[in-house]
Amino acid sequence: MDDWILQPIVQYGFLGFSAVLLGVVIWLITKLLKALEASNQVVIANTAAIQQLIEMTSDLLKLNRSLHDKLISRPCIAREEQ
């Protein structure tokens, strides 16, 4: 007789616990998706910063090469003083 009374209570207890666990899993998944979106925004910002650095480095490299060519084309002053 006790099994006939307790069995539905235990089954409903497991059903309730399963529903709570499902809610926790859904909540954690939404938090994970928000964290992934924030991470993607950081990656996008870092990629843009790296692109700017590449462009700036390219411009500085061109300037450095032109300065090198100008310095090489000028005569050496030290040879004239000796």
Tens-digit pLDDT profile for residues 29-63 = 999 999 999 999 999 999 999 999 999 999 999 99
Distances in whole angstroms, Cα of residue 12 to Cα of each of 5, 8, 57, 58, 73: 12, 6, 67, 68, 91
pTM of the shown model = 0.60
The encoded tokens of residue 80 equal 């004239």
Q: Is residue 1 predicted with pLDDT exceeding 60?
A: no
What integer is the mean pLDDT of 53-82? 86
